[in-house]
Amino acid sequence: MNYTFDFSSIAIGPLLDGLFVTIQLTLAANVIGIVAGFVLALLLMSPFAIVRVPFMLFVEFFRCTPAIIQVVWFFYCVPMLLDVFLDPLMMGILALGLNLTAFNAEAYRASIQGVPREQRDAGIALGLNPLQRIRYIILPTAFRESIPVLLTNGIGIFQQSALVAIVAIQDLMYEGKTLATATYRPIETFTVVALIYFAVSFPVSQVVGLIERRRALAAA
């Protein structure tokens, strides 16, 4: 191979600007996913089919279709069908946030089902109404038990945020593509981009592993 690597031509500034946009997308999507995911989990557990079924279809749609299709659909179909025009960054946040909501809802639902019956009965005995039981008993327990999955899903949405580059949001991937085209150095550029994604994702994955190991030790 006669290719000569030259990383000196890779400008870090634009990539860091793109990383800032990517982090904005990720944090906002996670806020939506964490909050709306819990509400959705409660709706999925409704005893009434008329409430439960539409939200089950919502979850299955986001779980069973490619994320890239969801991003494109939001950017091109929502404005045409609903006559709603939002800032591209906001559209990206909504697309990623709703995707994350569907996956987090399943994590919450499993955790809610794992809340000990004794805790629920204690809430009833104390005279707490249903909303108070959700707030003071179910939510704290379910959130605590779901943390490893929520963090893992958060890493996943950070990586999937690269898909918004196809609709010209200037995230890390978009800036990487632009830089690779301008410098004719795709190998070096996308190597640096990959390392940036890794540098952000790896510490979070280690936190997830640490939490799971501590839980395993506590349960032993």
- Cα–Cα distances (Å) from 179 to 3, 7, 84, 193, in that order, read 19, 12, 32, 10
> What is the number of residues in the chain?
220
pLDDT of residue 220: 62
Average pLDDT over residues 66-85: 87
Residue type, 76: Y
Average pLDDT over residues 82-101: 90
Q: What is the DSSP string of 60-88?
A: HHHHHS-HHHHHHHHHHHHHHHH-----H
H helical segments located in 1-138: 12-44, 49-64, 67-82, 88-113, 117-125, 130-133
Asked if the model's pLDDT at residue 149 lies above 80, the reply is yes
Give the Cα separation of 102 and 107 in Å (integer).
Answer: 9
pTM metric for this prediction:
0.90
* 122-132 residues labelled b (16+ CB within 10 A) or e (exposed): ebeeeebeeee
- Tens of pLDDT, residue by residue over 14-62, are 999 999 999 999 999 999 999 999 999 999 998 899 999 999 999 999 9
Q: Where are the domains of the chain?
A: 11-219
CB 159 within 8 A of CB 19: no
- Condensed to tens digits (0 to 9), the pLDDT of residues 178-218 reads 999 999 999 999 999 999 999 999 999 999 889 888 877 77
- Contact indicator for 112, 38 with CB cutoff of 8 Å: no
Residue 35 tokens, joined: 């909050």
pLDDT at 1 over 70: no
Q: Are 157 and 99 in contact (CB under 8 A)?
A: yes
Instruction: Assign domain 11-219 one CATH number from 3.40.30.10, 2.60.120.10, 3.30.70.260, 1.10.3720.10.
Output: 1.10.3720.10
Per mean pLDDT, which range of 83-87, 96-100, 176-180 is the poorest? 83-87
| Helix (H), strand (E) at residue 6 | none
Determine which of 51-55, 68-72, 144-148, 211-215 has the lowest per-residue pLDDT on average. 211-215
pLDDT of residue 182: 92
At 5, list the tokens.
């690597």
- Min mean pLDDT across 92-106, 130-144, 183-197 is at 130-144
Q: Measured between alpha carbons, how far is 213 from 209 in angstroms, rounded to an integer?
A: 6
Residue 117 pLDDT more than 90? Answer: no
